[in-house]
Structure 1
Amino acid sequence: MSTRPWIVDDDLWMLIEPLMPPWPERSPGPRPVADRLCLQGILYVLYNDIAWQLLPLELGFGSGRTCWRHLERWQQAGVFDRLHRILLAELNAAGELDWSRACVDGSHIRAKYDSNPHREELRKRRILPVISRRGAPNIKGLGKLRYVVEQTFALLHQFKRLAVRWERRTELHDAFVSLACGLICWRRLKKHRS
């Protein structure tokens, strides 16, 4: 990873730029900051977990308020969700995704729902239940399945802003998560191509 991971390279920008909604006609006021610089400011906040008002102006990203407004606008336009879907499709086309299983980190069901009829219903749906039976010590190999979930958390926690949720608005936190997932996919795709 580079020493400045918030810098958006040209290849990634070519994917993101067409997803950006156009800005309304320019109104009087200060000259607008370029979208790419604002995205780098957002990434700076995502990687370093700083308050928006502490975003260093000398880096050229614009003010924290400007970057925050761009984040809000792009979230409303679904930019980061679409980016994530595009990158997942490219990873899938490259054969880098394993769709053979899905892991759910937790589920909230009543305790007595582990029964043979429930297991049979899951099997009919071609779902392999990995549920401990009451009184059983441990499921052999569960750690191998659990690793997928833990690895995902580790990948997301390299983005310090996600370690503690500072965003009051859920949709902005979701935008950060989608952006982080997109960046993880982008790195994996770049690694596959090289």
Structure 2
Amino acid sequence: MTVTGGNRHDSTQLIPLVEALPTIRGKRGRPWQRPRWLYGDRAYDYEHHRKALRERGIIPRIARRNTGHGSGLGKVRWVVERTFAWLHQYKRLRTRYERRADIHLGLLRLGCVLICYRQLPTSF
């Protein structure tokens, strides 16, 4: 997670977020350093983002601008939208009242912890 100013475009943080991803663990053998695919909406449809992702060995699955809907990204994007809806149940995260970014980031992390805590009993 990163916090930026309210007037910054989201796409400026794509590459720094990809660089900050931890090693992906799971199966035996050498762990993956990067994900295989990156899904994004039309806001991230820039050729320099696609090129930077391909250089890192990530296949970009980004919807194209000026095309009709129905690209199929909704099958995986709903997870992100659902998470935003869960975070917006906390009023201080819905509208940013804090001036300091570290306080807002702390509240955002606390909201994520509470969401995960509530999901644990139903995941077994």
With normalisation by structure 1, the TM-score equals 0.37
- Cα deviation, 1:81-127, whole Å, max 9, x if unaligned, reads xxxxxxxxxxx9xxxxxx88665578668x44377xx39x62871x2
Partner SS for 1:158: coil
Q: For residues 99 and 79 of structure 2, what CA distance do their matches in structure 1 show?
A: 29
In the TM superposition, residue 146 of structure 1 has moved relative to its aligned partner by 2.0
**Alignment partner of 1:148 out of 75, 79, 83:** 79
CA RMSD of aligned residues (A): 3.6
- Is 1:113 equivalent to 2:48 in the alignment? yes
Written as runs of structure 1 = structure 2, the 5 A alignment for 1:63-102 is: none
Give 1 or 2: higher helix fraction.
1
In the TM superposition, residue 176 of structure 1 has moved relative to its aligned partner by 0.6
Larger Rg: 1
Q: For residues 172 and 159 of structure 1, what CA distance do their matches in structure 2 show?
A: 14
Alpha carbons 2:38, 2:62 under 8 Å: kept? no
Q: For residues 66 and 104 of structure 2, what CA distance do their matches in structure 1 show?
A: 40
Gaps of 5+ in 2: 1-25, 27-34
Counterpart of 2:99 in structure 1 is 168
Counterpart of 1:122 in structure 2 is 54
Alpha carbons 2:96, 2:104 under 8 Å: kept? yes
Alpha carbons 1:132, 1:139 under 8 Å: kept? no
Q: For residues 191 and 151 of structure 1, what CA distance do their matches in structure 2 show?
A: 17
In the TM superposition, residue 157 of structure 1 has moved relative to its aligned partner by 0.6
Q: For residues 190 and 106 of structure 1, what CA distance do their matches in structure 2 show?
A: 36
Percent identity (aligned): 38
Query: How many residues end up aligned between the 2 structures?
Result: 91
- Is 1:157 equivalent to 2:88 in the alignment? yes
Alpha carbons 1:162, 1:177 under 8 Å: kept? yes
Give 1 or 2: higher strand fraction.
2
Relative CO higher for 1 or 2, CA cutoff 8 Å, sep ≥ 6?
1
Partner SS for 1:165: coil
Gaps of 5+ in 1: 1-91, 93-98
